[in-house]
A = this chain, B = another copy of it.
Amino acid sequence: MFVVLVYDVNASKDARISKICKPYLLHIQNSVFMGDITLGNLRILLDKLKGEIDRESEVLDIFILRSRKTVRRITIGESRVRHENVI
């Protein structure tokens, strides 16, 4: 499956959330990741992230699609995150 993961967390926690996501997904924008992932890895990633997010004041959204074939990505500009990939 293909996912787009976006989060809005306390600035002090940004790096930690990013570090958790990097082994699983591609970092495309400041607090945005995307990529193909297995259901098993998605569960592991979600479990790790659930333990980090303050449910009162922070939020993380994951959009799950059956495959990257069902999505088209348009990018305007240049991400400050160096390694990015274009669908």
- Tell me the A residues contacting B by CB distance below 8 Å: 4, 6-8, 28-32, 34, 46, 49-50, 53-66, 70-80
CB–CB B63/A78 < 8 A: no
Interface of A is mostly: strand
Known contacts A8-B29, A8-B80, A80-B8: does B63 contact A75 (CB below 8 Å)?
no
Extra inter-chain contacts (6) besides given A6-B6, A7-B29, A53-B76, CB under 8 Å: A29-B59, A53-B77, A59-B78, A61-B73, A62-B73, A65-B71
The winner among A7, A29, A76 for most chain B CB atoms within 10 A is A76
CB–CB B73/A64 < 8 A: yes
